[in-house]
Structure 1
Amino acid sequence: MEKKGINEIRQAFLEFFESKDHLVRPSFSLIPKDDNSLLLINSGMAPLKPFFAGTQVPPKNRMATSQKCIRTGDIENVGKTARHATFFEMLGNFSFGDYFKKEAIRWSWEFSLEHLKLPPERIWASIYEDDDEAFHLWRQEVGLPEERIVRLGKEDNFWEIGLGPCGPCSELYFDRGEKYGCGDAACKPGCECDRYVEYWNLVFTQFNKDEAGNYTPLPNPNIDTGMGLERVACMLQEVDSIFEIDGMRVILDNVCERSGVTYGENHQHDISIRIITDHIRSITFMISDGILPSNEGRGYVLRRLLRRAARHGKLLGLNQAFLYQLMDKVVEKFHSGYPELMEKQETIRKVILVEEDRFLETIHQGSEMLGDYIEMMKSEGQQVLSGSQAFRLYDTFGFPLDLTKEILEETGMTVDEPAFKAEMEQQKTRARNARSEAGAVGWKEDPLTVLTAVPQTSFVGYGSLAVSATVTALIQEGASVERGLAEKGTTMFVLLDQTPFYGEGGGQVGDQGVLKGAAFIGRVVDTRKGSGEVIYHVVEADQGQIAVGDTLQAIVTSERRADTARNHTATHLLHKALKHILGEHVQQAGSLVTPERLRFDFNHFEPMTAEELETVETIVNQQIQRSLPVQIMETSIEKARSLGAEALFDAKYGETVRVVKTGDFSLELCGGTHVNNSGEIGMLLILGESGIASGVRRIEAVTGTGAYRLFKQHQETLQTMASMLKTRHERLLPRLDEMIQESREKDQLIQKMKQEQMKDQQGDLLQNAVTIGQTAVVITSLEGQSMDALRELGDRIKEKAGSAAILLASHEEDKVHIMATLSKDLVEKGLHAGKLVKEVAAITGGGGGGRPDMAQAGGKKPDKIPEALSRAMEMIQQALA
């Protein structure tokens, strides 16, 4: 055998099949496209299913890929064994109705011998028990001895998933030698021992299985093969574990180097090292494909892997963020096969660092509480953590259930999962009820359901703001009517055969305007879409009568439409600018376009800096000033994608889509209304940026008329401030600086006076201290002192007193401050400041904690301070008795 690295094996495989007239395509993204059955791509053929199913035409009938894959079904075993992994690469060659068994078998043999340099006498093949054709090809065409061709049953060598295309398969095995075997003379592929390793699976999709269980031959059978790159690397590099191959070992060694732990010396440490080594590969590849940490879907898978790796880093003594540095080794080793890793290296680094830092805060607080729970369970002889306690960890500290379970497992304990889920459901119910009580709008009922037949509406509003239209249906007071009485203030739903009014959709609000007839005037206060995209108008009648069949003038309020169009086109420019500054991972997660302002939600992993916001705003305004033409075209969804149009590809689009192109800057699928030229937007002002969910940020902005109004408001505010401060506009900042400096000087003076007062208090408190044995106990309440002042006073008293137990309380407005500090001799006797303040603070409606020698807490009930101090004295007296 010839020792090859993973990059050499991958390249050799792809070049070999390229020489066999295969289209070699780069790996598909880990995010499935147009496939709701998968969360993440988990095999080489998964992205090619539309080609196998015949729903899409492949770019070529022969293809080959090295597909990145993630499987998390066995995540609990990753690290515990040397063979489980979440990330792996699947080498595959595919035929869509082109070549079949003969070529697939012959080429697998040729590649195994001539490129992998495997000894032919150590290669075995398995076939489906009834597949005589495959047997003949292995025996006669390839020359494999009959005794090394093993027939296996349907469970092992027949591929099918429910109904549809299926077929037998043939697997190639490599004989690792007797030392890996079970000792049975009849040992061969199919045995449970480790001697024979399956490295290549050739699937012959030649039948269609129907509901009656019949297998009908397909007119154009397919070939689907899969060879695990890591497994082949193990064979060629003659190592027993995937963690020993070159692509993994370089990462593993870096983990050891950073932690100072030697691999192979400690079983528990080895588990942690392997988990980190595997997970950092998955994390790096997932983020490079645009997946960001979140609390659901594939984002949750990423978050779980990252947090699991971070926690195992802590078990190795890595108490600071380190994964963001470790990912460099992944990029370094894999970028030749996956150049996108190098292109997105900085984005990957930032995402990991932000999530690591968040988790380190979470794990510190949550682990402390879980540790307390575990100690309590041990003392009470309990083995199951209650659902309410697990939920409190989740709800208070964001401590995930998976992590709680894993930590408990290490101590031989479990968690009451059904009770946890019940707590979670109760929280969701409370949230739904709260929204309901607050008057939040839920799913709107479709008022068109009262119609026996829903007439279609032709939207003509892209080109016209006023048309003559015929009333096709009326709905008033929840019923379909032929004639509507238009008393002033009456609300009705009006359907027309054609309309210039844009119905709310795609984040853009509905148009407003007026409907006029010979005997009717009504104000359109909103335009909406019912089922089937039918447009209906919410009309408040002013006067007259209206009936089905009437002819009306439908007139959109042009100023409002223009303001909405400005904001909508600006949203497209904003989206593109965000991609330029933050990275290609930015994707639209929601939007709202109104005449007054725009709101744009997008995927990003951290708050934007002031500099980033300013740069984005500048870029958008530069495109506005360029007066870019806005072009609209209708084309096929495939053509739009090939042009690179931005779209919500999880959304459902028809065969024909509308593409909005703003100069050479932006290209998006969109059904909304837009300006004709970017110059019409005027300018864009960003109002602010905020987080609305994990991994989702929101920008709000104004343009055109809204921007002008905001500018005028700011100008008036400055004038008012200048008047109040009795200065001119240009002197506002210097004047504010002067006032701030004056305020600081006063604060310093007040602080100095408080310190002088504290010295007096220190002496008084020591004089009045309660003495228990050799220990001075100072427990008292002070008026209006900050937590910093309490800490400083406590340190001074402890320094003067020698052996001392000090608990000081204060309240500022409605906030209670509690600080406890203990001298070293008391800590050695078993006193714990953190536990002391935790119990005392609970009396004041708060909580806290800290180190054994010093801790602090807060509360909300100042009137409970005397009771809390009394309890503190009791606890200290009991401890010192």
Structure 2
Amino acid sequence: MKNFRREELLDDAQFSARIFDELGFVHRLCPKCKTGFWTLDSERVLCGEPPCEEYTFIGRPHGKRFDWGSMRRSYIRFFERLGHTPVERYPILARWRDDIYYTIATIACFQPWVTSGIAPPPANPLVISQPCIRFNDLDNVGKTGRHFSAFEMMAHHAFNSREQHIYFKDETLEYAYQWFTEGMGVPPEKLIFKDSWWEGGGNAGPCHECVVEGLELCTLVHMGYEGPGPDGTYREIPLKVVDTGYGLERAVWLSQGSPTAYDAVMPGVVEYVRGLAGVTRVDPEILAEYSKAAGVLDVETEGWHGLKKKILGVVAGRTGSDAAEIEEMITPYEAIYAITDHSRAICYMLGDGAVPSNAREGYLVRLLIRRLIRFLRSLGLEEEGVLQKVVKKQFDTVKVLFPEIKDREDEIFEMVDLEEHRYRESIVKGYKVVRKTVKKLREKGEKTIPLDELKNLYNTHGVLPEEVQRFVGTEMVVNIPENFGALVAMEHSTPIRPIEKHQGELEEKAGKLSHIPKTEILFYDKPGQKSFSATVLHAEGNLLVLDRTLFYPEGGGQPADQGKIGSGGRNVRVVDVQKVGDKIFHITDNPSCEKLFTRNEKVTGVVDWDRRKKHCQHHTATHILIGACRKLLGDHIWQTGSQISEERARLDLTHHKNLTREELNKIERVANRVVQATLPVRSEMMSRTLAEKTYGFRLYQGGAVPGAEIRVLS
């Protein structure tokens, strides 16, 4: 297929649409940001979005009024009437992915297997409302009125293959127009569709962003490409995907015209925290003007501290108030809004099985909990148990809209309580660590604590930069980056994939062997068979590729089979087996397999059965053990790794505290009862979609599973 440069894919044809012609939309180029946009207002000059224009909806809402729950229900029902099948939300922990920890958008639920055409979607077309987590704007949360770490993305998706066309760009824009005008009651002349481009998760495409009175409400991606590749180009893909994302919180905010999105979506929690802290209510006019001024300035690129002075100056000029007095009123509200957001994110993350820790997804939930504690302390709320109160207030709201997390309530609050104690301990221990750090740096003649040292103090000892600053006083300079939270969060947001042995060599080899048939797998259908006949497809160096094999490749924590392959008295020992794509490579003890075997030669393979049997027994034992742990300790228990050998097996689990001897004994008794019952082990291959519907995402204990089918053991 042809590769395209991005500029080739941004011509006028990509952005024109049937509805624009039929309804008389005109196309304009914004003189400020140089972005193209579509509007029914022939007099409009600017694109209508900050920083080109500020919000005009605050204090003057349009159309129907919604809250969090009614917005979601109305959206799903609206698209259900348009022929979309409602799909249950996915976990906020992206267990089916090996490249992200948390679900960052609705399309992430279907990447990479559905979007690449390998697996069918759960419905087509579908509608979904998905809670998501993002950390890139973490330090702006609470300050701008619109930023969230946790948010809900509403979306309708369609997956168009060569065999089945559902709908694409024209219908996508028509449905969006209908939703905003009929579903929400937005006047048509208020709608602006901006030309843009989107890419993420390996996919890309031109898109339209819908803006109403300064507020971007959705992104409509017409996904037809993958990339960018190493050369920066994009390749057309056979599956054309409708990838939309409608911000639920922003839509509710628009419908109410409140000063901030936090006030619109979670008013009860905002007011509860304000009351706990005894913060005086701010004049709504000042809050409204503050949000307008904050919205029009580019906090993402300019930084907050410098912009805050500009914002305060603008608000003071508009309201006739003193800038210093406005800052004194607004600063506590910034903490209140951040607490409101963070407490919801924590409910989502813990409710879906995250366990606070110093690694992986646990690092990120611990970061949010500690930020939340710091915000509470900035309001004078330092007494023990106040964190529990705030999270409980938020949980009571969240569980109504996500009833599936109700059963996790006890576990969630046990973890929250434990994290509060650990934070207090880290402060006590952290003081000594900081003093040692200061001494070491001063001996080197340093006057400023470097950023890397601030990161290390948090990552290793849990001491936030603000605590470091408090401990150091005027002894040394502590420059805290405005985006410190986002900085450390983003550094821990992407899993580090281990470099497998032979990985580079075998991937290159597999690419060169794309012309030969895939390896037929025998070990699943014939688990008790010890030998097999096969045909040599490729022999080179110490590698053999056969048309079929009984040899199990390394994977899922289980080592590869060993054994021998031979023909006519010529034998090689198989010392390792690796699967790359649809090919299985047998790595042998002979460096010149091409001298022993020829292409299309018939050979016999024999598996080292004693080794295989021990591996299978230990592998089954890990499944029994994790089942016992989940039964006794809770559904938050998750396998993060395992290692199986002939002698023993190791299982790595997530849990928020050390196991007691009594708990270990109970786990052992439950596991042994299963073993003593001598239950048969059944396996079946199921389509990914059916397996997820049947068993849920606990299928992915131990990691993501590639391919269209999943082998399920019971």
Residue of structure 1 equivalent to 2:355:
292
Residue of structure 2 equivalent to 1:84:
147
Contact 2:431 2:471 in 1 (8 A): no
Contact 2:119 2:688 in 1 (8 A): no
Calculate the TM-score normalised by the size of structure 1: 0.52
Residue of structure 1 equivalent to 2:558:
508
Distance in 2, matches of 1:586 and 1:317, equals 32
Structure 2 portions without partners, runs of 5+:
1-62, 160-165, 283-327, 483-497
Distance in 2, matches of 1:45 and 1:63, equals 12
Distance in 1, matches of 2:553 and 2:710, equals 17
Distance in 1, matches of 2:625 and 2:156, equals 42
1:343 to 395, 398, 407: 407
- 1:166 corresponds to 2:203: no
Partner of 1:284, secondary structure, is: helix
Contact 1:204 1:221 in 2 (8 A): no
Deviation at 1:597, TM superposition (A): 2.5
Deviation at 1:5, TM superposition (A): 3.2
Aligned residues: 557
- 1:658 corresponds to 2:698: no
Distance in 1, matches of 2:555 and 2:115, equals 36
Partner of 1:203, secondary structure, is: strand
Calculate the TM-score normalised by the size of structure 2: 0.62
Deviation at 1:80, TM superposition (A): 3.3
Residue of structure 2 equivalent to 1:620:
671
Deviation at 1:503, TM superposition (A): 5.5
CA 1:508–1:55: 2 relative to 1, 3 Å: closer
1:283 to 346, 355, 360: 346
Distance in 2, matches of 1:528 and 1:214, equals 35
Deviation at 1:558, TM superposition (A): 5.3
Residue of structure 1 equivalent to 2:634:
583
- 1:109 corresponds to 2:178: no
Deviation at 1:269, TM superposition (A): 3.5
User: Relative to structure 2, which stretch is displaced further, 380-389 or 302-311?
Assistant: 380-389
CA 1:167–1:659: 2 relative to 1, 3 Å: closer
Structure 1 portions without partners, runs of 5+:
129-155, 174-195, 418-440, 481-492, 540-545, 662-881
1:231 to 237, 246, 250: 250
| Mapping for residues 101-180 of structure 1, pairs under 5 Å | 101-113=173-185, 124-128=189-193, 156-161=194-199, 165-171=205-211, 173=212
Distance in 2, matches of 1:164 and 1:446, equals 27
CA 1:535–1:321: 2 relative to 1, 3 Å: farther
- 1:240 corresponds to 2:291: no
Deviation at 1:68, TM superposition (A): 1.6
Distance in 1, matches of 2:504 and 2:72, equals 59
Contact 2:640 2:703 in 1 (8 A): no
Matched to 2:629, the amino acid is L
Distance in 2, matches of 1:223 and 1:553, equals 49
CA 1:533–1:274: 2 relative to 1, 3 Å: same
Residue of structure 2 equivalent to 1:22:
84
Deviation at 1:290, TM superposition (A): 2.8
User: Relative to structure 2, which stretch is displaced further, 460-469 or 442-451?
Assistant: 442-451
Identity between Structure 1 and Structure 2 (%): 26
Residue of structure 1 equivalent to 2:659:
608
| Mapping for residues 240-389 of structure 1, pairs under 5 Å | 240-245=259-264, 247-256=265-274, 258-259=276-277, 267-296=330-359, 298-315=361-378, 316-320=380-384, 322-367=386-431, 370=434, 384-386=448-450
Matched to 1:231, the amino acid is R
- 1:568 corresponds to 2:631: no
Partner of 2:384, secondary structure, is: coil
For each residue in 1:763-806, what CA deviation from the matched residue of structure 2 results, as whole angstroms up to 9, or x when unmatched? xxxxxxxxxxxxxxxxxxxxxxxxxxxxxxxxxxxxxxxxxxxx
Which structure: larger Rg?
A: 1
Deviation at 1:634, TM superposition (A): 3.5
Distance in 1, matches of 2:329 and 2:606, equals 79
| Mapping for residues 699-718 of structure 1, pairs under 5 Å | none
Distance in 1, matches of 2:134 and 2:504, equals 45
Deviation at 1:307, TM superposition (A): 1.4
Deviation at 1:280, TM superposition (A): 1.0
Distance in 2, matches of 1:472 and 1:251, equals 65
Distance in 1, matches of 2:104 and 2:260, equals 21
For each residue in 1:123-164, what CA deviation from the matched residue of structure 2 results, as whole angstroms up to 9, or x when unmatched? 742435xxxxxxxxxxxxxxxxxxxxxxxxxxx444544995
Distance in 2, matches of 1:499 and 1:55, equals 23
Contact 1:465 1:558 in 2 (8 A): yes
- 1:203 corresponds to 2:220: yes
Partner of 1:165, secondary structure, is: strand
Distance in 2, matches of 1:27 and 1:219, equals 27
Matched to 1:506, the amino acid is G
Contact 2:106 2:130 in 1 (8 A): yes
Deviation at 1:362, TM superposition (A): 1.4
Partner of 2:135, secondary structure, is: coil
CA 1:608–1:106: 2 relative to 1, 3 Å: same
Matched to 1:329, the amino acid is K
CA 1:37–1:647: 2 relative to 1, 3 Å: closer
Distance in 1, matches of 2:500 and 2:176, equals 54
CA 1:554–1:22: 2 relative to 1, 3 Å: closer
Distance in 2, matches of 1:287 and 1:274, equals 20
Contact 2:353 2:636 in 1 (8 A): yes
For each residue in 1:609-660, what CA deviation from the matched residue of structure 2 results, as whole angstroms up to 9, or x when unmatched? 3343333222222222332121233444444434427235854534454332
Higher-RCO chain (CA-CA 8 Å, sequence separation at least 6) = 2
Instruction: Please identify which structure carries the higher strand content.
Output: 1
Partner of 1:534, secondary structure, is: strand
Distance in 2, matches of 1:234 and 1:498, equals 59
Distance in 2, matches of 1:170 and 1:472, equals 54
Contact 2:207 2:222 in 1 (8 A): yes
Contact 1:127 1:168 in 2 (8 A): no
Matched to 1:573, the amino acid is I
CA 1:659–1:398: 2 relative to 1, 3 Å: same
CA 1:558–1:295: 2 relative to 1, 3 Å: same
Contact 1:495 1:536 in 2 (8 A): no
Partner of 2:401, secondary structure, is: coil
CA 1:216–1:127: 2 relative to 1, 3 Å: farther
Partner of 1:347, secondary structure, is: helix
Contact 2:115 2:241 in 1 (8 A): yes
Matched to 1:276, the amino acid is I
